[in-house]
């Protein structure tokens, strides 16, 4: 993640450049120039510029991915023509808390080039943007090999009279293209206390209750009654199997049973090649295969979207301990004379599962962890907040208001003095006990007021 001040400074530099040269200069994109990585240089002995370590321009349709290991994308835009034929004109730059977004417009008649293009550049490490005159860039920067420089040309946008260059120590950066700004990654801010307590992405873990569709809640209640009445009266162990007609609380949607049928949607859910490779049966005459599905118009398939009355039933969550781990479940503890269904002929020793008492379970809830535990586990979302930059006077006034309002996290602060000892007095103190008792007055000084 780049430093906020680097992003902010780069944004204002490019924003000032764009508005200073327009409308006299059109800033039409003519080429994209980069420095090859060391592995790319080793694999390209025939390329004259790459093998010598010089920056090189992209050819049409170049496939050069960049980005972090888990999220890489090609630097070359997803178009079928040369970059000069796109007539992409840089219009503006937008600031993002973690990246910079360049806004291009095009007048090309090519079908693969739309009227607008958005390029999101994520500067993963310390990066600065420099604008060169086109002659200075080609005569001074492009003629110096990367080993002789202290920086790399991560990406240079040739805009005609000027070249906008992203400079960094290595080639760690990412580029994403989109035809609409709304499809790019949005802001990701730190979670507040009330959001941490809810944790909507977690349905059962560390929750005291969770929602269920009404018909599933009815099946849960019937199963509990069956276990409490008939099964506990049996002396012989009863095996939980499909034949006895029990409702399976751990797969209420019967996904496995549905995917085993001749007419199933496995090839659509898991992709046809992966589904066939895994041994799945393909529905040959599936009507959804010929249906024109638009990726941008997928419907939200949860029942909450259409039938709100189906999601008004709530059930309790229970915490269990085993020999090795603990787990959360919506099902109460089964009677001791029930055995799990297993297709293995060899009997497996059953783990010791004990339910946690309600008082102890309450301590493991998210609400209790967030509110009453000082050292709760901080997740990655807690680090994504970006503080606002204030001028010095505004910041002092802001913290003064917090102190006057007895803000909880600063209530213990008070005005104090910081005592410092000079080097000569420290040496005298270590030399003898007499020096410690007779430290001269000039050896101590008091510095500025601080918060202790």
Q: What's the token pair of residue 433? A: 């006990």
What CATH number has the domain bearing residue 67? 3.20.190.10
Q: What was the pLDDT predicted at 259?
A: 86
Q: What was the pLDDT predicted at 390?
A: 40
Residues 141 and 257 in one domain: no
Residues 102 and 140 in one domain: yes
Residues 128 and 215 in one domain: no
Residue 157 — pLDDT band, cuts 50, 70, 90? very high
- pTM here is 0.45
Residues 232 and 331 in one domain: yes
Q: Which long-range contacts (CB under 8 A, 24 or more apart) does 94-98 make?
A: 94/181, 95/7, 95/8, 95/11, 96/7, 96/120, 96/185, 96/187, 97/4, 97/7, 97/187, 97/188, 97/189, 97/386, 98/1, 98/2, 98/7, 98/122, 98/185, 98/188, 98/386
Q: Which long-range contacts (CB under 8 A, 24 or more apart) does 189-194 make?
A: 189/97, 189/384, 189/385, 189/386, 190/381, 190/382, 190/383, 190/384, 190/385, 191/381, 191/382, 193/370, 193/371
Q: What's the token pair of residue 296? A: 């941008």
Residues 215 and 349 in one domain: yes
Q: What was the pLDDT predicted at 319?
A: 92
Residues 403 and 328 in one domain: no
Segment 172-184 shows an average pLDDT of 81
The residues near 51 (Cβ < 8 Å, ≥ 6 apart) are: 41, 44, 45
Q: Is 68 helix (H, G, I), strand (E, B) or coil?
A: strand
Tell whether 193 is covered by a domain: no
Out of 144-148, 327-331, 374-378, pick the least confident.
374-378
Out of 41-45, 75-79, 186-190, 394-398, pick the least confident.
394-398
Tell whether 188 is covered by a domain: no
CB 176 within 8 Å of CB 123: no
Q: Which long-range contacts (CB under 8 A, 24 or more apart) does 101-107 make?
A: 101/181, 101/184, 102/157, 103/181, 104/29
* pLDDT, averaged across the chain: 72
Does the structure show a pLDDT above 50 at 173? yes
Tell whether 162 is covered by a domain: yes
Please list the residues that pair with 133 across neighbouring strands: 162
Top mean-pLDDT range of 71-85, 302-316, 397-411, 421-435: 71-85
Residue 158 — pLDDT band, cuts 50, 70, 90? very high
For the chain, percent helix, then strand, then coil, each to nearest 5?
Answer: 35, 20, 45
Per the model's pLDDT, the better-predicted residue between 227 and 201 turns out to be 227
Tell whether 176 is covered by a domain: yes
Residues 23 and 133 in one domain: yes
- Nearest Cα to 86, choosing from 116, 120, 62? 116
Q: Which helix (H) or strand (E) holds 392?
A: helix 392-404
Residues 344 and 421 in one domain: no
Strand ranges (E), 30-178: 31-34, 56-57, 65-68, 71-74, 88-95, 100-106, 116-122, 127-133, 152-158, 162-168, 174-178
Per the model's pLDDT, the better-predicted residue between 78 and 200 turns out to be 78
Does the structure show a pLDDT above 70 at 239? no
Tell whether 245 is covered by a domain: yes
Segment 197-204 shows an average pLDDT of 69
Q: What was the pLDDT predicted at 22?
A: 84
Residues 303 and 446 in one domain: no
Residues 219 and 343 in one domain: yes
* DSSP assignment letter at 253: T
Q: What was the pLDDT predicted at 394?
A: 46
Q: What's the token pair of residue 204? A: 């059962």
Tell whether 408 is covered by a domain: yes
Tell whether 190 is covered by a domain: no
Q: What was the pLDDT predicted at 382?
A: 43
Residues 152 and 245 in one domain: no
Per the model's pLDDT, the better-predicted residue between 384 and 10 turns out to be 10
Does the structure show a pLDDT above 80 at 176? yes
How many separate domains does the chain show? 3
* DSSP assignment letter at 357: P
Out of 55-64, 176-185, 195-204, 221-230, pick the least confident.
195-204
* Cα separation, 166 vs 168, whole angstroms: 7
CB 53 within 8 Å of CB 139: no
Q: What was the pLDDT predicted at 81?
A: 83
Top mean-pLDDT range of 94-103, 301-310, 327-336, 426-435: 94-103
Per the model's pLDDT, the better-predicted residue between 179 and 4 turns out to be 179
Does the structure show a pLDDT above 60 at 343? no
Q: What was the pLDDT predicted at 52?
A: 83
Segment 19-32 shows an average pLDDT of 88
Q: Per-residue pLDDT tens for 78-124?
A: 887 888 888 889 998 888 777 888 999 888 777 667 778 888 888 77
Residues 131 and 91 in one domain: yes
Segment 170-183 shows an average pLDDT of 81
* Cis? peptide before 225, omega within 30° of 0: no
Tell whether 380 is covered by a domain: no
Domain boundary among 347, 364, 381: 364
Does the structure show a pLDDT above 60 at 245? no
Q: What was the pLDDT predicted at 346?
A: 58
Domain range for 415: 392-451
């Amino acid at each position: 993640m780049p430093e906020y001040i680097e992003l902010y400074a780069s944004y204002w530099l490019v924003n000032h450049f764009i508005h200073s040269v327009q409308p006299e200069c059109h800033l039409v994109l003519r080429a994209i120039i980069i420095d090859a990585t060391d592995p790319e240089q080793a694999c390209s002995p025939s390329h004259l510029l790459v093998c010598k370590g010089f920056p090189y321009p992209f050819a049409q349709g170049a496939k050069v991915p960049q980005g972090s290991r888990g999220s890489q994308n090609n630097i070359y835009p997803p178009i079928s023509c040369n970059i000069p034929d796109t007539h992409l004109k840089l219009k503006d730059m937008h600031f993002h808390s973690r990246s910079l977004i360049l806004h291009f417009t095009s007048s090309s008649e090519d079908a693969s080039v739309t009227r607008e293009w958005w390029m999101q550049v994520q500067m993963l490490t310390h990066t600065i943007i420099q604008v060169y005159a086109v002659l200075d860039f080609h005569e001074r920067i492009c003629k110096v090999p990367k080993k002789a420089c202290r920086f790399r040309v991560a990406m240079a946008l040739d805009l005609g009279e000027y070249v906008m260059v992203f400079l960094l120590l290595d080639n760690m950066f990412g580029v994403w293209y989109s035809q609409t700004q709304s499809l790019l990654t949005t802001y990701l801010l730190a979670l507040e206390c009330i959001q941490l307590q809810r944790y909507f992405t977690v349905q059962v873990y560390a929750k005291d209750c969770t929602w269920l569709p009404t018909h599933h809640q009815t099946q849960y209640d019937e199963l509990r009654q069956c276990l409490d009445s008939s099964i506990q009266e049996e002396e012989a162990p009863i095996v939980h199997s499909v034949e006895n007609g029990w409702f399976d609380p751990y797969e209420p949607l019967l996904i496995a049973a549905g995917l085993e049928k001749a007419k199933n949607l496995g090839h659509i859910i898991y992709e046809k090649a992966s589904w066939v490779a895994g041994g799945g049966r393909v529905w040959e005459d599936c009507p959804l295969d010929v249906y024109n599905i638009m990726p941008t118009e997928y419907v939200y398939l949860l029942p909450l979207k259409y039938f709100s009355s189906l999601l008004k039933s709530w059930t309790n969550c229970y915490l269990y301990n085993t020999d090795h781990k603990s787990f959360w479940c919506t099902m109460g503890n089964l009677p001791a004379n029930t055995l799990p269904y297993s297709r293995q002929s060899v009997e497996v020793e059953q783990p010791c599962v004990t339910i946690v008492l309600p008082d102890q379970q309450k301590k493991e809830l998210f609400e209790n962890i967030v509110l009453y535990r000082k050292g709760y586990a901080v997740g990655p979302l807690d680090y994504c907040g970006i503080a606002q930059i204030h001028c010095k006077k505004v910041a002092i006034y802001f913290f003064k208001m917090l102190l006057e309002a007895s803000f909880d996290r600063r209530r213990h602060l008070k005005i104090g003095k910081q005592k410092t000892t000079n080097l000569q007095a420290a040496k005298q103190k270590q030399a003898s006990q007499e020096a410690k008792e007779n430290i001269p007055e000039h050896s101590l000084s008091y510095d500025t007021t601080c918060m202790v």
